[in-house]
Amino acid sequence: MNTMQIGEVAERTGLSLRTIRHYDQVGLVPPSGRSEGGFRLYTEVDVERLNHVRRIIPLGFSLEETAEILVILETAGSAEATEAYLERARAGREKLARKLRQADELIAALQDRLRQ
């Protein structure tokens, strides 16, 4: 099994070392192993799981809910739970889209101010 250390995982996921360690400490994404020196060792499956977490958290889900969504994504979760999380993910996406539109409006206003 090919493994990588936390620095490579951070590069590949765009997550900070601190965040990856936190996800390990709370049991969300523990490493698949440890080196003889005690360094965390991650696999491709771990990286995929971290990438899922990276997409889930900004939508407003708690760590507990994130763990439940990971179970759904990685196994056959119940249709009811999947549908409920899907609806909440859509709502979270819409909230983020509104924030992006507001940011675009502010940027446009500031750019207009510079042109005056």
Entry pTM:
0.81
**What pLDDT score does 74 carry?**
87
Dist CA 60 CA 77 (whole Å): 20
pLDDT score of 116 more than 90: no
> Above 80 in pLDDT, residue 77?
no
Which CATH number is 79's domain given? 1.10.1660.10
Closest CA to 56 of 40, 72, 45, 41: 72
Residue 59 confidence class, pLDDT cut points 50, 70, 90: very high
Would you say residue 42 has pLDDT above 80? yes
Q: How many domains does the chain fold into?
A: 1
Domain residues for the domain of 86 are 4-115
Residues 84-100, mean pLDDT to the nearest whole number = 94
